[in-house]
Structure 1
Protein backbone atom coordinates (compact mmCIF):
# COMPACT_ATOMS: atom_id res chain seq x y z
CA UNK A 1 0.00 0.00 0.00
CA UNK A 2 2.82 2.39 0.87
CA UNK A 3 4.53 1.77 -2.50
CA UNK A 4 1.31 2.69 -4.33
CA UNK A 5 0.98 5.94 -2.35
CA UNK A 6 4.53 7.04 -3.15
CA UNK A 7 4.18 6.10 -6.81
CA UNK A 8 0.90 8.04 -6.91
CA UNK A 9 2.60 11.06 -5.38
CA UNK A 10 5.44 10.77 -7.90
CA UNK A 11 2.96 10.59 -10.79
CA UNK A 12 1.07 13.56 -9.32
CA UNK A 13 4.27 15.59 -9.02
CA UNK A 14 5.23 14.71 -12.60
CA UNK A 15 1.81 15.81 -13.87
CA UNK A 16 2.10 19.09 -11.93
CA UNK A 17 5.56 19.73 -13.37
CA UNK A 18 4.55 18.99 -16.95
CA UNK A 19 1.38 21.06 -16.68
CA UNK A 20 3.19 23.98 -15.07
CA UNK A 21 5.89 23.99 -17.74
CA UNK A 22 3.32 23.99 -20.54
CA UNK A 23 1.26 26.71 -18.92
CA UNK A 24 4.15 28.93 -17.92
CA UNK A 25 5.25 29.11 -21.54
CA UNK A 26 1.89 30.77 -22.23
CA UNK A 27 1.60 32.72 -18.96
CA UNK A 28 2.16 36.12 -20.56
CA UNK A 29 -0.73 35.63 -22.98
CA UNK A 30 -4.30 36.03 -21.77
CA UNK A 31 -6.45 32.94 -22.11
CA UNK A 32 -10.18 32.74 -22.21
CA UNK A 33 -11.02 30.46 -19.27
CA UNK A 34 -14.74 30.15 -19.90
CA UNK A 35 -16.69 27.62 -17.86
CA UNK A 36 -20.05 27.16 -16.19
CA UNK A 37 -20.48 24.82 -13.24
CA UNK A 38 -22.73 24.63 -10.19
CA UNK A 39 -22.12 25.21 -6.51
CA UNK A 40 -23.07 22.50 -4.03
CA UNK A 41 -26.31 24.43 -3.49
CA UNK A 42 -27.14 24.11 -7.20
CA UNK A 43 -26.49 27.75 -8.06
CA UNK A 44 -24.75 28.44 -11.38
CA UNK A 45 -21.14 29.55 -11.13
CA UNK A 46 -19.55 31.05 -14.23
CA UNK A 47 -16.03 32.09 -15.01
CA UNK A 48 -17.43 35.58 -15.54
CA UNK A 49 -18.18 35.66 -11.79
CA UNK A 50 -14.42 35.83 -11.25
CA UNK A 51 -13.71 38.79 -13.55
CA UNK A 52 -11.28 41.22 -11.93
CA UNK A 53 -10.58 38.92 -8.96
CA UNK A 54 -7.57 36.74 -8.22
CA UNK A 55 -8.49 33.10 -7.77
CA UNK A 56 -7.06 29.62 -7.66
CA UNK A 57 -8.41 26.34 -8.99
CA UNK A 58 -7.79 22.81 -7.79
CA UNK A 59 -9.24 19.89 -9.75
CA UNK A 60 -9.91 16.79 -7.66
CA UNK A 61 -12.50 14.31 -6.41
CA UNK A 62 -14.03 13.23 -3.11
CA UNK A 63 -12.95 9.58 -3.35
CA UNK A 64 -9.28 10.57 -3.65
CA UNK A 65 -7.33 8.66 -1.00
CA UNK A 66 -4.56 11.15 -0.31
CA UNK A 67 -3.61 13.91 -2.75
CA UNK A 68 -6.92 15.82 -2.76
CA UNK A 69 -7.66 15.88 0.97
CA UNK A 70 -4.04 16.68 1.76
CA UNK A 71 -3.96 19.55 -0.74
CA UNK A 72 -7.24 20.96 0.58
CA UNK A 73 -6.08 20.71 4.22
CA UNK A 74 -2.82 22.43 3.35
CA UNK A 75 -4.59 25.08 1.29
CA UNK A 76 -6.92 25.76 4.22
CA UNK A 77 -3.90 26.31 6.49
CA UNK A 78 -2.09 28.48 3.93
CA UNK A 79 -5.12 30.74 3.49
CA UNK A 80 -5.35 31.11 7.26
CA UNK A 81 -1.65 31.91 7.49
CA UNK A 82 -1.73 34.76 4.97
CA UNK A 83 -4.42 36.44 7.05
CA UNK A 84 -6.65 39.17 5.61
CA UNK A 85 -4.92 38.92 2.21
CA UNK A 86 -6.74 35.60 1.73
CA UNK A 87 -10.03 37.50 1.53
CA UNK A 88 -8.99 38.79 -1.91
CA UNK A 89 -8.54 35.26 -3.32
CA UNK A 90 -11.40 33.03 -4.43
CA UNK A 91 -10.29 29.41 -3.97
CA UNK A 92 -12.15 26.85 -6.11
CA UNK A 93 -12.30 23.07 -5.83
CA UNK A 94 -13.68 21.57 -9.05
CA UNK A 95 -14.79 17.95 -8.99
CA UNK A 96 -13.53 15.87 -11.90
CA UNK A 97 -15.79 12.94 -10.93
CA UNK A 98 -19.35 13.96 -11.81
CA UNK A 99 -20.44 10.32 -11.71
CA UNK A 100 -19.85 9.96 -7.95
CA UNK A 101 -19.50 13.51 -6.65
CA UNK A 102 -23.11 14.50 -6.11
CA UNK A 103 -23.86 17.94 -4.70
CA UNK A 104 -24.71 16.43 -1.30
CA UNK A 105 -21.52 14.35 -1.14
CA UNK A 106 -19.38 17.29 -2.23
CA UNK A 107 -21.04 19.55 0.35
CA UNK A 108 -20.34 17.02 3.12
CA UNK A 109 -16.76 16.49 1.93
CA UNK A 110 -15.99 20.21 2.00
CA UNK A 111 -16.98 20.56 5.67
CA UNK A 112 -13.49 19.30 6.52
CA UNK A 113 -11.79 22.26 4.85
CA UNK A 114 -11.81 26.07 4.98
CA UNK A 115 -15.36 27.29 4.36
CA UNK A 116 -14.03 29.93 1.95
CA UNK A 117 -13.17 27.20 -0.61
CA UNK A 118 -15.96 27.12 -3.20
CA UNK A 119 -16.78 23.58 -4.30
CA UNK A 120 -18.05 23.24 -7.86
CA UNK A 121 -19.38 20.40 -9.96
CA UNK A 122 -20.97 19.86 -13.34
CA UNK A 123 -22.02 17.16 -15.73
CA UNK A 124 -19.38 15.36 -17.80
CA UNK A 125 -19.37 17.98 -20.57
CA UNK A 126 -19.19 20.93 -18.15
CA UNK A 127 -16.39 19.23 -16.21
CA UNK A 128 -14.39 18.64 -19.39
CA UNK A 129 -14.92 22.24 -20.51
CA UNK A 130 -13.71 23.57 -17.15
CA UNK A 131 -10.62 21.33 -17.16
CA UNK A 132 -9.87 22.25 -20.77
CA UNK A 133 -10.10 25.96 -19.88
CA UNK A 134 -7.08 25.45 -17.61
CA UNK A 135 -5.34 22.72 -19.61
CA UNK A 136 -5.87 20.44 -16.62
CA UNK A 137 -5.47 16.70 -17.03
CA UNK A 138 -7.78 14.03 -15.64
CA UNK A 139 -8.87 10.54 -16.57
CA UNK A 140 -10.80 7.65 -15.10
CA UNK A 141 -8.67 4.60 -14.23
CA UNK A 142 -10.28 1.22 -13.44
CA UNK A 143 -9.11 -0.51 -10.26
CA UNK A 144 -8.71 -4.23 -9.51
CA UNK A 145 -11.76 -4.09 -7.22
CA UNK A 146 -14.02 -3.25 -10.17
CA UNK A 147 -14.34 0.40 -9.18
CA UNK A 148 -12.22 3.29 -10.46
CA UNK A 149 -10.01 6.12 -9.37
CA UNK A 150 -9.08 9.35 -11.10
CA UNK A 151 -5.65 10.53 -12.24
CA UNK A 152 -5.46 14.30 -12.41
CA UNK A 153 -3.34 17.42 -12.31
CA UNK A 154 -2.34 17.73 -8.67
CA UNK A 155 -1.26 21.38 -8.63
CA UNK A 156 -3.35 24.48 -8.03
CA UNK A 157 -3.74 26.98 -10.85
CA UNK A 158 -3.10 30.56 -9.68
CA UNK A 159 -4.98 33.13 -11.78
CA UNK A 160 -4.31 36.83 -11.33
CA UNK A 161 -7.04 39.46 -11.21
CA UNK A 162 -6.27 40.35 -14.84
CA UNK A 163 -7.07 36.76 -15.87
CA UNK A 164 -3.48 35.75 -16.58
CA UNK A 165 -1.89 32.64 -15.16
CA UNK A 166 0.48 33.54 -12.32
CA UNK A 167 1.71 29.96 -12.06
CA UNK A 168 1.07 26.75 -10.19
CA UNK A 169 1.08 26.02 -6.49
CA UNK A 170 2.65 22.65 -5.81
CA UNK A 171 1.99 21.24 -2.36
CA UNK A 172 5.47 19.65 -2.39
CA UNK A 173 7.35 22.94 -2.59
CA UNK A 174 8.62 24.70 0.55
CA UNK A 175 5.88 26.31 2.64
CA UNK A 176 7.51 29.75 2.40
CA UNK A 177 7.30 29.54 -1.41
CA UNK A 178 3.63 28.59 -1.16
CA UNK A 179 2.87 31.51 1.16
CA UNK A 180 4.76 33.93 -1.07
CA UNK A 181 2.86 32.77 -4.17
CA UNK A 182 -0.48 33.27 -2.41
CA UNK A 183 0.50 36.72 -1.14
CA UNK A 184 1.52 37.72 -4.67
CA UNK A 185 -1.76 36.37 -6.01
CA UNK A 186 -3.75 38.34 -3.44
CA UNK A 187 -1.88 41.50 -4.43
CA UNK A 188 -2.54 41.06 -8.17
Structure 2
Protein backbone atom coordinates (compact mmCIF):
# COMPACT_ATOMS: atom_id res chain seq x y z
CA UNK A 1 0.00 0.00 0.00
CA UNK A 2 1.24 3.44 -0.84
CA UNK A 3 2.09 5.38 2.31
CA UNK A 4 -0.65 7.85 3.17
CA UNK A 5 1.23 10.80 4.61
CA UNK A 6 3.30 13.64 3.28
CA UNK A 7 4.09 15.65 6.39
CA UNK A 8 3.87 15.83 10.16
CA UNK A 9 2.53 18.62 12.29
CA UNK A 10 4.04 19.76 15.58
CA UNK A 11 2.05 21.65 18.13
CA UNK A 12 4.77 24.28 18.37
CA UNK A 13 8.01 24.83 16.49
CA UNK A 14 10.44 21.94 16.43
CA UNK A 15 13.65 22.75 18.18
CA UNK A 16 12.17 25.08 20.77
CA UNK A 17 14.91 26.29 23.03
CA UNK A 18 13.32 25.47 26.36
CA UNK A 19 13.16 21.69 26.28
CA UNK A 20 12.83 19.90 29.59
CA UNK A 21 14.12 16.51 30.52
CA UNK A 22 16.27 15.90 27.46
CA UNK A 23 18.15 12.69 28.14
CA UNK A 24 20.32 12.37 25.06
CA UNK A 25 20.31 13.60 21.47
CA UNK A 26 17.40 12.10 19.59
CA UNK A 27 16.48 12.16 15.95
CA UNK A 28 14.67 15.25 14.76
CA UNK A 29 11.08 15.34 13.61
CA UNK A 30 12.28 15.60 10.01
CA UNK A 31 14.52 12.54 10.37
CA UNK A 32 11.72 10.48 11.87
CA UNK A 33 9.29 11.63 9.18
CA UNK A 34 11.76 10.50 6.54
CA UNK A 35 11.81 7.04 8.13
CA UNK A 36 8.03 6.97 8.26
CA UNK A 37 7.41 8.16 4.72
CA UNK A 38 9.85 5.81 3.07
CA UNK A 39 9.46 2.87 5.45
CA UNK A 40 13.22 2.83 6.00
CA UNK A 41 12.94 0.98 9.32
CA UNK A 42 10.38 -1.26 11.02
CA UNK A 43 7.45 0.76 12.34
CA UNK A 44 5.43 -0.42 15.32
CA UNK A 45 6.27 -3.24 17.65
CA UNK A 46 5.75 -4.62 21.14
CA UNK A 47 4.56 -2.35 23.93
CA UNK A 48 3.55 -2.85 27.57
CA UNK A 49 1.28 -0.11 28.89
CA UNK A 50 -1.79 0.39 31.08
CA UNK A 51 -5.24 1.18 29.73
CA UNK A 52 -7.73 3.77 30.96
CA UNK A 53 -9.35 1.15 33.22
CA UNK A 54 -6.08 0.28 34.92
CA UNK A 55 -5.49 -3.00 33.06
CA UNK A 56 -2.06 -4.02 31.81
CA UNK A 57 -2.09 -4.11 28.01
CA UNK A 58 0.36 -5.26 25.38
CA UNK A 59 0.26 -5.13 21.61
CA UNK A 60 -0.62 -8.83 21.59
CA UNK A 61 -4.02 -8.04 23.13
CA UNK A 62 -5.15 -6.45 19.87
CA UNK A 63 -4.22 -9.15 17.39
CA UNK A 64 -6.97 -9.96 14.93
CA UNK A 65 -8.08 -6.34 14.51
CA UNK A 66 -6.90 -3.46 12.40
CA UNK A 67 -5.44 -0.76 14.63
CA UNK A 68 -5.65 3.00 14.37
CA UNK A 69 -2.92 4.18 16.73
CA UNK A 70 -2.62 7.82 17.74
CA UNK A 71 -0.03 9.41 20.05
CA UNK A 72 -0.90 12.66 21.83
CA UNK A 73 -1.85 14.04 25.23
CA UNK A 74 -5.05 15.09 26.95
CA UNK A 75 -4.00 18.74 27.40
CA UNK A 76 -3.46 19.14 23.65
CA UNK A 77 -5.57 22.14 22.69
CA UNK A 78 -6.56 21.37 19.12
CA UNK A 79 -4.76 18.81 16.95
CA UNK A 80 -5.30 15.77 19.19
CA UNK A 81 -9.03 16.24 19.81
CA UNK A 82 -9.63 17.07 16.15
CA UNK A 83 -7.88 13.91 14.94
CA UNK A 84 -9.52 11.74 17.59
CA UNK A 85 -12.93 13.04 16.53
CA UNK A 86 -12.19 12.01 12.95
CA UNK A 87 -11.01 8.57 14.05
CA UNK A 88 -14.19 8.14 16.09
CA UNK A 89 -16.32 9.29 13.17
CA UNK A 90 -14.64 6.81 10.83
CA UNK A 91 -15.37 3.94 13.24
CA UNK A 92 -18.98 5.08 13.54
CA UNK A 93 -19.43 5.35 9.77
CA UNK A 94 -18.20 1.78 9.34
CA UNK A 95 -21.20 0.56 11.32
CA UNK A 96 -20.94 -3.11 12.27
CA UNK A 97 -17.68 -3.39 10.34
CA UNK A 98 -16.17 -0.93 12.80
CA UNK A 99 -15.83 -3.79 15.27
CA UNK A 100 -12.90 -4.97 13.15
CA UNK A 101 -10.97 -1.77 13.91
CA UNK A 102 -9.53 -0.91 17.32
CA UNK A 103 -8.63 2.74 17.95
CA UNK A 104 -5.83 3.38 20.47
CA UNK A 105 -4.79 6.68 22.04
CA UNK A 106 -1.30 6.55 23.58
CA UNK A 107 -0.42 9.48 25.81
CA UNK A 108 2.93 11.20 25.47
CA UNK A 109 2.39 12.88 28.83
CA UNK A 110 2.25 10.07 31.41
CA UNK A 111 3.17 12.53 34.16
CA UNK A 112 -0.24 14.19 33.92
CA UNK A 113 -2.28 11.63 32.01
CA UNK A 114 -3.18 9.22 34.76
CA UNK A 115 -5.54 6.29 34.31
CA UNK A 116 -8.42 8.36 35.70
CA UNK A 117 -7.68 11.32 33.47
CA UNK A 118 -7.47 9.13 30.39
CA UNK A 119 -10.77 7.45 31.26
CA UNK A 120 -12.51 10.81 31.38
CA UNK A 121 -10.82 11.96 28.17
CA UNK A 122 -11.44 8.98 25.87
CA UNK A 123 -15.12 8.93 26.86
CA UNK A 124 -15.49 12.19 24.90
CA UNK A 125 -14.76 10.48 21.58
CA UNK A 126 -15.88 6.88 21.13
CA UNK A 127 -16.89 4.07 23.51
CA UNK A 128 -14.36 1.72 21.92
CA UNK A 129 -11.40 4.11 22.06
CA UNK A 130 -8.78 2.75 24.46
CA UNK A 131 -6.43 5.15 26.21
CA UNK A 132 -2.96 3.91 27.13
CA UNK A 133 -0.43 5.28 29.59
CA UNK A 134 2.41 3.89 31.69
CA UNK A 135 5.82 4.72 33.03
CA UNK A 136 7.77 7.31 31.10
CA UNK A 137 10.24 4.69 29.86
CA UNK A 138 7.44 2.44 28.57
CA UNK A 139 5.78 5.35 26.77
CA UNK A 140 9.11 6.36 25.24
CA UNK A 141 9.72 2.80 24.05
CA UNK A 142 6.30 2.66 22.38
CA UNK A 143 6.76 6.08 20.77
CA UNK A 144 10.23 5.19 19.52
CA UNK A 145 8.95 1.98 17.93
CA UNK A 146 6.36 4.00 15.98
CA UNK A 147 8.92 6.68 15.11
CA UNK A 148 7.00 9.38 16.99
CA UNK A 149 8.75 12.67 17.69
CA UNK A 150 7.93 14.33 21.01
CA UNK A 151 9.54 16.72 23.45
CA UNK A 152 8.47 18.31 26.72
CA UNK A 153 8.65 22.10 26.40
CA UNK A 154 8.46 24.62 29.25
CA UNK A 155 5.77 27.30 29.15
CA UNK A 156 6.69 29.12 32.35
CA UNK A 157 6.76 28.14 35.98
CA UNK A 158 5.87 24.46 36.30
CA UNK A 159 3.64 24.45 33.22
CA UNK A 160 4.65 22.71 30.01
CA UNK A 161 3.36 21.38 26.74
CA UNK A 162 4.36 18.50 24.48
CA UNK A 163 5.66 19.10 20.97
CA UNK A 164 4.85 16.00 18.94
CA UNK A 165 4.26 14.56 15.52
CA UNK A 166 0.63 13.67 14.98
CA UNK A 167 0.31 10.85 12.49
CA UNK A 168 -2.46 8.24 12.67
CA UNK A 169 -0.93 4.79 12.22
CA UNK A 170 -2.78 1.97 10.49
CA UNK A 171 -1.63 -1.48 11.56
CA UNK A 172 -2.80 -4.83 10.22
CA UNK A 173 -4.29 -7.72 12.20
CA UNK A 174 -0.87 -9.12 13.05
CA UNK A 175 0.56 -5.76 14.16
CA UNK A 176 2.31 -5.03 10.86
CA UNK A 177 2.56 -1.50 9.53
CA UNK A 178 0.23 -0.63 6.64
CA UNK A 179 0.69 3.12 6.43
CA UNK A 180 -0.30 6.35 8.11
CA UNK A 181 -2.67 9.26 7.76
CA UNK A 182 -1.38 12.80 8.24
CA UNK A 183 -2.94 15.00 10.90
CA UNK A 184 -6.17 16.58 9.79
CA UNK A 185 -7.25 13.59 7.69
CA UNK A 186 -11.03 13.41 7.43
CA UNK A 187 -13.05 10.38 8.48
CA UNK A 188 -14.19 9.94 4.89
CA UNK A 189 -10.61 9.77 3.65
CA UNK A 190 -9.75 7.20 6.31
CA UNK A 191 -12.64 5.05 5.09
CA UNK A 192 -11.20 4.86 1.57
CA UNK A 193 -8.17 3.07 3.05
CA UNK A 194 -9.87 1.17 5.87
CA UNK A 195 -12.62 -0.48 3.81
CA UNK A 196 -10.32 -2.37 1.39
CA UNK A 197 -8.31 -3.65 4.34
CA UNK A 198 -11.42 -4.91 6.13
CA UNK A 199 -11.94 -7.43 3.36
CA UNK A 200 -8.43 -8.86 3.72
CA UNK A 201 -7.74 -11.85 5.95
Shorter-chain TM-score range: 0.7 to 0.9
Aligned residue among 151, 162, 165 for 2:174: 162
Taking structure 1 as reference, are residues 141 and 10 closer, same or farther at Cα in structure 2, changes over 3 Å only? closer
Counterpart in the other structure of 1:22: 35
Aligned residue among 111, 115, 122 for 2:127: 115
Structure 1 residue 133 displacement after superposition? 1.6
Structure 1 residue 132 displacement after superposition? 1.3
Higher helix share: 1
Between stretches 103-112 and 166-175, larger displacement belongs to 166-175
Structure 1 residue 10 displacement after superposition? 8.8
TM-score by length of 2: 0.77
Structure 1 residue 31 displacement after superposition? 5.4
TM-score by length of 1: 0.82
What is the SS of the residue equivalent to 1:168? strand
Structure 1 residue 32 displacement after superposition? 6.2
Counterpart in the other structure of 2:4: none
What is the SS of the residue equivalent to 1:101? coil
Paired residues, number: 179
Counterpart in the other structure of 2:95: 83
Taking structure 1 as reference, are residues 19 and 52 closer, same or farther at Cα in structure 2, changes over 3 Å only? farther
CA distance in 2, matches of 1:35, 1:181: 25
Q: Tell whether the 8 Å contact from 2:87 to 2:187 is kept in structure 1 after alignment.
A: no
C-alpha RMSD over aligned residues: 2.7
Taking structure 1 as reference, are residues 45 and 147 closer, same or farther at Cα in structure 2, changes over 3 Å only? same
